[in-house]
């Protein structure tokens, strides 16, 4: 009986674990999904500006920690309409995780053929 209970608890934890959104999904998507510029488009904009993975991630992290109009890659019209985002409240570790997920999700290497 105890074994059955343990098994059910573990299964429910596994199911729940699958459904737990990662930090990128939790911290980024909720805000961006209401904006006209998709995260994929912003990714392509960053890619066009910073090219390599390390540069991309470092630049994005620097911007998220200290957003400024001068360092934003978004078009001027965007800035005028939506202004520059607020400073992130994520820790460095969370920020790295979120950016890694973002990079992996839209990496062109996996999509070109």
Closest CA to 84 of 96, 94, 74: 74
Binding another protein by CB under 8 A: which of 4, 15, 52, 70?
Answer: 52
The separation between CA 99 and the C-alpha centre of its own chain, rounded to angstroms, equals: 5
The verdict on 11 binding another protein (CB under 8 A) reads: no
The verdict on 51 binding another protein (CB under 8 A) reads: yes
Q: List, in order, residues 6 or more apart from 63 with CB less than 8 Å away.
A: 71, 72, 73
Binding another protein by CB under 8 A: which of 35, 50, 61, 63?
Answer: 50
The stretch among 20-28, 44-52, 69-77, 79-87 that binds another protein (CB under 8 A) is 44-52
The verdict on 89 binding another protein (CB under 8 A) reads: no
Written as six digits, the tokens of 8 are 């059910």
């Amino acid at each position: 009986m105890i074994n059955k209970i343990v098994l059910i608890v573990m299964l429910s934890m596994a199911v729940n674990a699958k459904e737990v959104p990662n930090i990128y999904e939790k911290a980024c998507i909720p805000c961006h999904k209401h904006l006209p510029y998709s995260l994929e488009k912003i990714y392509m904009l960053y890619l066009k500006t910073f090219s390599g993975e390390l540069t991309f991630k470092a630049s994005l992290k620097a911007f998220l920690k200290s957003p400024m109009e001068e360092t934003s890659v978004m078009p001027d019209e965007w800035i005028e309409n939506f202004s520059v985002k607020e400073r992130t409240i994520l820790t460095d570790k969370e920020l790295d995780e979120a950016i890694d997920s973002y990079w992996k999700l839209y990496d062109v290497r996996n999509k070109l053929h």
